[in-house]
């Protein structure tokens, strides 16, 4: 069945390329994926199930995982729901209903496990990003983030011919607070200053 093999190869390549693009750019192509990739994958699954029988259901498992790699979680859930609604009637017609229900149950479990796994990875990635970009004491951006932000701001100003402002703060008598009341109180002062800056700076400003 060369047609099925070619279609399977094309689907695998599309899923891999789309997932790699999301990973490299950190941006989802939601409309294109929903309008093109998902319908093509669903059509392929229906085609495989029709010509391969129960063996065709095996293609559904990587498809479920692929949806989570190509789409945000909410859209991946919707795509997986569309997958189940597509294959369940066809599977029920080809085999007994109990087998179809068991197949759908395993697909649902894979979808849930993958969603939990992807969500945990995204949360850990976000935590690592915060740790890399901010000072753990004040919660403000650290020096490396400041350096990159300054370079980006200078480049933007040169391109748009608009001005930018750099404001530096010096805390008077901070050393005396540390010397007289200890570093714990000094840390509390720094946290309070950080909170004050975050609460009062406009959205377009960075601290």
Chain mean position to CA 185: 39
The sign of the dihedral angle between the CA atoms of 115, 117, 123, 126 is: negative
The tokens 């399977």 sit on which residue? 8
State the chain's mean pLDDT as an integer.
Answer: 86
pLDDT tier at 1, thresholds 50, 70, 90: low
pLDDT tier at 79, thresholds 50, 70, 90: very high
Convert the pLDDT of each residue in 152-189 to its tens digit.
888 988 898 888 888 888 888 888 888 888 888 888 88
Chain mean position to CA 188: 34
User: Which pair of tokens denotes residue 36?
Assistant: 């093109």
Q: Bigger pLDDT: 142 or 8?
A: 142
Q: What is the pLDDT of residue 207?
A: 67
Convert the pLDDT of each residue in 119-140 to its tens digit.
999 899 888 988 888 888 888 8
The tokens 């498992």 sit on which residue? 61
Q: Where are the alpha helices (DSSP H) in 34-182?
A: 38-52, 60-70, 73-94, 97-133, 143-160, 174-181
């Amino acid at each position: 069945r060369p047609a099925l093999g070619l279609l399977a190869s094309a689907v695998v390549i599309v899923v891999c390329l789309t997932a790699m693009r999301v990973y490299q750019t950190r941006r989802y192509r939601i409309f294109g994926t929903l309008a093109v990739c998902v319908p093509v994958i669903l059509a392929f699954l229906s085609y495989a199930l029709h010509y391969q029988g129960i063996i065709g259901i095996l293609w559904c498992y990587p498809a479920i995982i692929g949806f989570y790699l190509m789409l945000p979680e909410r859209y991946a859930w919707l795509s997986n729901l569309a997958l189940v609604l597509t294959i369940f009637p066809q599977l029920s017609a080809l085999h007994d209903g109990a087998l179809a229900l068991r197949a759908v149950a395993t697909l649902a479990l894979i979808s849930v496990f993958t969603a939990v796994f992807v969500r945990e990875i995204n949360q850990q990635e976000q935590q690592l990003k915060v740790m890399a970009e901010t000072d753990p004491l004040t919660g403000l951006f650290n020096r490396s983030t400041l350096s990159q932000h300054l370079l980006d701001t200078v480049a933007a100003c040169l391109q748009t011919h608009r001005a930018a402002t750099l404001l530096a703060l010096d805390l008077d008598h901070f050393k005396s607070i540390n010397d007289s009341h200890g570093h714990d109180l000094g840390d509390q002062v720094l946290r309070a200053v950080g909170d004050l800056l975050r609460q009062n700076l406009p959205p377009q400003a960075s601290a």
